[in-house]
C-alpha cells in the first residue's frame, strides 16, 4: 500500500471514529442503568425496576389475580403488595383494570398464560403507560421487570450502571401514552 493510500485509509478511519464517538456522545437520548427506581402511578409507590432486554413485555408482582366481566368486557382484579423504596413500608392495593391481552410464556417450566394490563409508571421524569403481565414475583428480588417494549420508550440501556435516574414525576410530568404495536 502506498503512503498516500495509507493516509486515505487513516483519514477514513479517523472520520469514522469521530462520527461514532459523536453518536455515542448524543445527549438527546437518555441512558438508563439495568436497575432503576420507578414509581407506580397513581399510587406513588417507588419500587426497584430491573431493565431486562431478554424480556419483551414488562412484568409486575401481582397477587390474587382473577379475571371477571364488567360491562361485557374482560377485566382483571389483582393485589399489589410492594415495598416502597423511599419509606420502607409495605403498600397493599387492590386494583381492577381492563384486560389488555393474554400473554403465553413458554419456558423450561412449561407454558404459562398471564393477563396483561396497562399501568402508568414514572421512570426518570416521564410517566409511561405500558403493558405489564401480572405474575406473583414474590420470590424475585425485583418486583418490577421492564422489558424491551418499555426500554425502547425510555432510551439506551447501560448494563454496567444502576440507579442513574430517580423517579421524579410531578403533576406536570410528560405523559407517554401506550401505542399498540402489530403483535398487541
User: What are 117-144's pLDDT values in tens digits?
Assistant: 999 999 999 999 999 999 998 888 999 9
Cβ-contact 102, 23 below 8 angstroms: no
Q: Which domain CATH number covers 89? A: 2.40.70.10
Return the pLDDT at 183.
66
| Residue 101, beta-bridge partner list | 116
Is the predicted pLDDT of residue 17 greater than 80, yes or no?
no
Q: Does 182 map to a domain?
A: no
Q: Does 82 map to a domain?
A: yes
DSSP 151: H
Return the pLDDT at 173.
87
Q: Does 77 map to a domain?
A: yes
> Whole-structure pTM over 0.75, yes or no?
yes
Q: Which of 19, 54, 49, 57 is nearest to 32 (CA)?
A: 49
Is the predicted pLDDT of residue 18 greater than 70, yes or no?
no
Q: Which of 42, 82, 44, 49 is nearest to 63 (CA)?
A: 82
* Summary mean pLDDT of the chain: 85
Return the pLDDT at 26.
54
Tally the domains of the chain: 1
Q: What is the DSSP string of 2-52?
A: -HHHHHHHHHHHHHHHHHHHHHHT-TTS-EEESEEEEEEETTTEEEEEEE-
Return the pLDDT at 94.
97
Return the pLDDT at 22.
42
Q: Does 12 map to a domain?
A: no
3-class DSSP assignment, residue 81: strand
Cβ-contact 165, 123 below 8 angstroms: yes
Q: Does 14 map to a domain?
A: no
Spatial separation of the C-alpha atoms in residues 168 and 37, rounded to whole Å: 10
User: What are 50-109's pLDDT values in tens digits?
Assistant: 999 999 999 999 999 999 999 999 999 999 999 999 999 999 999 999 999 999 888 777
According to DSSP, the β-strands at 73-83 and 110-123 are unpaired
Q: Does 13 map to a domain?
A: no
Q: Does 133 map to a domain?
A: yes
Local confidence band at 19 (pLDDT 50, 70, 90 cut-offs)? very low
The domain of 78 spans 32-176
Q: Does 163 map to a domain?
A: yes
How many helical (H) and strand (E) elements, i.e. helices and strands, does the chain have? 2, 13
Interior CA angle at 92 toward 148 and 47, to 5°?
35
Amino acid at each position: 500500500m502506498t503512503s498516500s493510500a495509507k493516509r486515505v485509509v487513516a483519514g477514513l478511519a479517523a472520520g469514522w471514529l469521530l462520527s461514532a464517538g459523536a453518536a455515542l456522545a448524543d445527549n438527546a437520548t437518555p441512558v438508563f442503568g439495568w436497575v432503576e427506581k420507578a414509581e407506580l402511578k397513581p399510587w406513588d409507590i417507588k419500587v426497584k425496576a430491573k431493565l431486562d432486554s431478554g424480556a419483551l413485555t414488562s412484568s409486575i408482582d401481582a397477587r390474587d389475580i382473577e379475571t371477571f366481566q364488567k360491562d361485557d368486557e374482560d377485566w382483571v382484579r389483582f393485589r399489589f403488595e410492594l415495598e416502597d423504596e423511599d419509606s420502607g413500608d409495605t403498600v397493599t392495593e387492590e386494583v381492577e383494570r381492563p384486560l389488555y391481552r393474554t400473554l403465553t410464556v413458554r419456558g423450561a417450566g412449561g407454558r404459562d398464560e398471564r393477563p396483561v394490563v396497562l399501568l402508568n409508571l414514572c421512570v426518570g421524569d416521564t410517566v409511561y403507560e405500558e403493558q405489564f403481565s401480572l405474575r406473583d414475583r414474590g420470590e424475585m428480588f425485583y418486583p418490577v421487570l421492564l422489558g424491551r417494549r418499555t426500554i425502547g420508550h425510555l432510551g439506551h440501556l447501560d448494563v454496567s450502571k444502576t440507579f442513574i435516574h430517580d423517579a421524579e414525576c410531578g403533576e406536570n410530568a410528560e405523559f407517554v401514552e401506550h401505542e399498540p404495536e402489530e403483535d398487541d
